[in-house]
Amino acid sequence: MKLLMFFLQGIPESMGVVAVSLALAAVPLRWRIIATSGSVLALILFTLRSLPLTFGIHTIAGLLLVVIFLNYTTTVSTSKALLVSVITLGMLAIMEILVLEPYFALTHLTLEEAQSNVMQWSLLGLLQALLLNLVAILISVVRKEKKDEWTI
């Protein structure tokens, strides 16, 4: 079941995190690169979550991995990469609230009850990830992209 969540939620969510970070940094969205890097990021975070580490370590690791990705694949400065990564993390939290709060209000379920239905929980995560990717596209359309930001 964890594998189901990885494919339905983890990969699209990680793609959204990468896409929003790129969009905020005014880097043109290249979806092949976003899909590949999002998949690798999701796999690393999935592995970290599976280890007996303190809860939340995967979030910090994800943040740092996005900063490293931006530094090595674009011309974005380290400080800007860190800033857009932190903003993206905040946007991810907002997306979670925007999806889960109405769901809990409509279903009258608790967090534990909702998480016990893995398929339903995965689909909620997928919705959140899709919204995050849509936000990346909207940001990219509104912000002027710089043409030569990619180094790969």
9 and 80 Cβ atoms separated by less than 8 Å: no
Residues 14, 131, 91, 86: is their CA dihedral positive or negative?
Answer: positive
Counting the structural domains of the chain, the total is 1
Residue 70 lies in a domain: yes
pTM over 0.95: no
Residue 149 lies in a domain: no
**pLDDT tens string 36-54:** 999 999 999 988 888 887 7
Residue 16's pLDDT band, with cuts at 50, 70 and 90, is: very high
SS3 74: strand
84 and 21 Cβ atoms separated by less than 8 Å: yes
- What are the tokens at 7? 């494919």
Burial 48-64 (b: 16+ CB within 10 A, else e): bbeeeeeeeebeebbbe
Residue 1's pLDDT band, with cuts at 50, 70 and 90, is: low
In terms of phi and psi (left: phi > 0; alpha: psi -120 to 50; beta: otherwise), the region of 26 is left
How far, in Å, CA of 1 to CA of 35, rounded?
22
Give the domain extent around 18: 2-141
The alpha carbon of 39 is separated from its chain's Cα centroid by a whole number of angstroms, namely 11
Residue 7 lies in a domain: yes
